[in-house]
Amino acid sequence: DVKVTQSSRYLVKRTGEKVFLECVQDMDHENMFWYRQDPGLGLRLIYFSYDVKMKEKGDIPEGYSVSREKKERFSLILESASTNQTSMYLCASSKGRGSLNTEAFFGQGTRLTVV
Amino acid sequence: AQKVTQAQTEISVVEKEDVTLDCVYETRDTTYYLFWYKQPPSGELVFLIRRNSFDEQNEISGRYSWNFQKSTSSFNFTITASQVVDSAVYFCALDRLSNFGNEKLTFGTGTRLTIIP
């Protein structure tokens, strides 16, 4: 059974803290993504990665960074958390090169609250 | 720029009724892919269907069916004889043609469907 696992379901952090959201997939997928989900706005892409050590900015990268040191793991970093980063964060993965627009598999989400 | 519009924010129907979720998209690409995902209360999005822009045939999978009309840029989703387990948020998404697996999926804002027992 394919799996994308996010390290936390719920997280509460203080303003100014550095926050790490971890995501691991066991499908040997090349592509990994971080989305943010807010009511009325749907899912918006923060960053994505086509390969280890590769990263590309999505639509809303400001205030975030990512790290992909291993193929199976993609980390989202909030350098200095702010209250407007309170949201649901979704990680996804998909097959990469040679696969034509395959479906993405999603984790269960991390609901982050910044106080 | 790509855009997906799901005008229905919330829909409630009584169990066993049929329901259609609308999706309208905008793109300048001639080749693209459309998707539907389901997000149950557990949170993770579940893939339902993928359709490329050259394939306008409607598709049926059990109680689910999809109507793709390029002329109106719509990709609507119908659930027949709805069940309580169909209660979820449904997202329509658009992707450019890519041989890297995905480009950047553009999602609609979602439709929350509630099936009343």
Which residues of B are less than 8 Å from A58 in CB distance?
A: 104
Question: Do B108 and A37 contact (CB within 8 A), yes or no?
Answer: no
Alpha carbon distance B104, A70 (integer Å): 21
Tell me whether residues A4 and B50 touch, CB distance under 8 A.
Answer: no
Cα–Cα distance, B76 to B5 (Å, whole number): 11
Q: Are strands A10-13 and A110-114 parallel, antiparallel or unpaired?
A: parallel
The pLDDT score that the predictor gives to residue B98 is 66
d(CA A82, CA A63): 9
The span from the first CA to the last CA of chain A, in angstroms, equals 37
pLDDT of residue A33: 94
Nearest-Cα distance to chain A for B42, in Å, is 7
The mean pLDDT of A45-68, rounded to a whole number, is 93
| Per-residue confidence in pLDDT tens, chain B, 117 aa | 889 999 999 999 999 999 999 999 999 988 899 999 999 988 889 999 999 888 888 888 899 999 999 999 999 999 999 999 999 999 999 988 766 656 678 999 999 999 999
Instruction: Compute the nearest-CA separation of B26 from chain A (Å).
Output: 16
The answer to whether B84 touches B117, Cβ cutoff 8 Å, is yes
Cα-based distances in Å from A58 to A47, A62, A65: 5, 10, 11
Mutate to test the interface with A, among B54, B96, B105, B107 (most CBs of A within 10 A): B105
H/E element holding A4?
strand A4-6
Instruction: Tell me what the pLDDT averaged over chain A comes to.
Output: 92
At B76, which amino acid appears?
N
Q: For residue B23, list chain A residues with Cβ-Cβ distance below 8 A.
A: none
Q: Indicate if the alpha-carbon torsion angle A112, A47, A78, A82 is positive or negative.
A: negative
Instruction: Name the residue among A30, A43, A102 with its Cβ closest to that of B91.
Output: A43
pLDDT at A46 over 90: yes
**pLDDT one-digit tens code per residue, B30-41:** 889 999 999 998
**Is A14 part of the contact surface with chain B (CB cutoff 8 Å)?**
no
Q: Say how many CB pairs under 8 Å bridge A and B.
A: 85
Coil/strand/helix, residue A88: strand
Residue (of B2, B1, B3, B8) closest to B90 by Cα position: B8
Instruction: Return the pLDDT at A95.
Output: 84
Q: Minimal Cα distance from A36: which residue of B?
A: B107
Closest by Cβ to B101, choosing from A43, A102, A106: A102
> How many of the other CB atoms lie within 10 Å of CB of A27?
14
pLDDT tens column, A57-77: 999 999 999 999 999 999 999
Which H or E element spans position B95?
Answer: strand B88-96
> With an 8 Å Cβ cutoff, are A95 and B101 in contact?
yes
Average pLDDT over residues A22-32: 93
